[in-house]
């Protein structure tokens, strides 16, 4: 039976002697705001399940000490958005972190696995899906909402113990610690440095237009944060791309365009104009988005296939019918030359060298004690490598670092 907690004194008493780890999850709403509105915090602590109401006064203050306690491991699943919600509401990040989604991938169970599927894989329990899109800000919550919320943490203990044992046995626990530390660091970043790379339309713009788009997107992000409104409410992608592609000749021309557009920020015309024409201090270093060539895509597939084969050999992942056809296996992300767009949407990297070579000439896989090895061509760029979970879409991947494959120059 879960306990509903909306009294800070009650919460502080229950968290007074925390165990070595707690299971943690959140429910939040992010439909009309930039920042997630924390609506519920679920915690498995010892034998108890706590459903904590963050809307109650004083709850965030009572929760903060445990979240910040370095002696208490926080077990969460796919925690990236939960981290932002907790950090914004409570002012601290739940560290140290054990993310069960990443752990499952490192154990070879599957990459990007959802919580319900992982629970069934580890415990055999099939969870209901009924309240996924529920209104978590309403009070009181329904019985089905409370049951759903409790289920999100009640099995974290069993999953944690199983995955931790597997990671320890395979000497991969350090990998998880590194990945979770990186996830925590990412949660504190104030927006993407190069947000234009996340827009597919950017690859069809020339260099000057991409820089203008970068300026607009940077301004939009600052405006969205300060006003706590969704980015699209400030300036939608379509209008931002249009302004970057064909900039208005002057302020009056911009206003005419804004007046004609149904979703334009008409009252922010002066700010949009300044964002459009004012250079950024670091824009000269901005990488340009581009569409990968067939040659580069084929090169990436060869990398996927080679690493998928090695992954299957090590028992890290289930062998696919065809490794490069949507196989979620351990893969690689490369540092590309300036002007070349990485295949990972969330983890783009660029190199400092200016050499421009086709991907398949940039790296190779010489066998060495049964291990494929990556090598940069002489005079070219050093290849940076990551363990990576490839999805069927090259632009939607989750990166994980590893020392298992080594690059040499």
User: Looking at the annotation, which residues are catalytic?
Assistant: 25, 27, 82, 148, 152
* β pairing state of 387-389 and 330-331: antiparallel
Which residues, 6 or more positions from 289, have their beta carbon under 8 angstroms from its beta carbon?
196, 197, 199, 202, 203, 205, 210, 341
Q: Is the Cβ–Cβ distance between 159 and 100 less than 8 Å?
A: yes
Q: Which residues of 217-237 are buried (b: 16+ CB within 10 A; e: fewer)?
A: bbbbbebbeeeeeebebbbbb
Please name the helix (run of DSSP H) or strand (run of DSSP E) that holds residue 362, with its range, or none: helix 359-362
Length reported for the chain: 409
Please check whether residue 268 is in contact with residue 286, taking contact to mean a CB–CB distance below 8 angstroms: no
Cα–Cα distance for residue pair 100/385, rounded to 1 Å: 23
Contacting residues for 42 by C-beta, under 8 A, at least 6 apart: 23, 24, 25, 26, 27, 49, 50, 51, 52, 149, 150, 152, 153
Q: DSSP secondary structure string, 284-309?
A: GGPPPP-PPPHHHHHHHHHHHHHHHH
Residue 343 makes CB contacts below 8 A (sequence gap 6+) with 292, 300, 333, 394, 395, 397
Whether 77 and 118 have beta carbons less than 8 Å apart is answered as yes
């Amino acid at each position: 039976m879960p306990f509903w907690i909306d009294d800070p004194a009650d919460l502080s008493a229950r968290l007074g002697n925390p165990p070595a780890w707690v299971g943690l999850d959140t429910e939040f709403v992010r439909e009309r705001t930039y920042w997630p509105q924390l609506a519920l915090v679920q915690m498995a602590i010892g034998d108890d399940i706590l459903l904590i109401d963050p809307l109650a006064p004083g709850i965030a203050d009572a929760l903060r000490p445990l979240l910040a306690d370095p002696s208490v491991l926080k077990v969460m699943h796919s925690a990236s958005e939960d981290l932002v919600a907790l950090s914004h509401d409570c002012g601290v990040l739940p560290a140290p972190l054990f993310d069960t989604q990443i752990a499952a991938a490192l154990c070879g169970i599957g990459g990007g696995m959802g919580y319900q599927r992982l629970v069934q894989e580890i415990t055999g329990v099939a969870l209901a899906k009924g309240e996924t899109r529920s209104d978590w800000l309403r009070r009181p919550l329904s019985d089905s909402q409370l049951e759903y919320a409790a289920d999100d943490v009640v099995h974290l203990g069993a999953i944690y113990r199983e995955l931790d044992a597997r990671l320890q046995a395979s000497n991969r626990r350090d990998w998880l610690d590194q990945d979770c530390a990186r996830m925590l660091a990412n949660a504190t970043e104030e927006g993407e440095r190069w947000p234009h790379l996340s827009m597919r339309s950017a690859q069809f713009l020339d260099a000057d237009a991409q820089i203008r788009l970068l300026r607009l997107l940077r301004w939009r992000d600052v405006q969205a944060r300060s006003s706590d409104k969704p980015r699209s409410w400030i300036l939608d992608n379509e209008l931002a791309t249009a302004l970057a592609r064909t900039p208005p000749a002057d302020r009056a021309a911009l206003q005419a365009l804004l007046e004609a557009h149904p979703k334009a920020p008409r009252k922010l015309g002066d700010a949009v104009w300044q964002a459009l024409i004012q250079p950024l201090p670091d824009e000269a270093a901005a990488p340009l988005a581009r569409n990968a060539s067939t040659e580069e895509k084929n090169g990436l597939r060869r990398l996927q296939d080679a690493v998928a084969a090695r992954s299957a050999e090590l028992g890290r992942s289930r062998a696919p019918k065809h490794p490069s056809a949507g196989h979620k296996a351990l893969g690689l992300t490369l540092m590309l030359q300036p002007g070349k767009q990485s295949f990972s949407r969330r983890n783009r990297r660029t190199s400092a060298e200016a050499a421009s070579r086709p991907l398949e000439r940039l790296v190779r896989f010489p066998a060495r004690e049964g291990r494929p090895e990556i090598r940069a061509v002489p005079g070219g760029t050093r290849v940076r490598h990551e363990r990576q979970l490839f999805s069927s879409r090259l632009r939607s991947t989750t990166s994980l670092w590893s020392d298992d494959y080594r690059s040499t120059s």
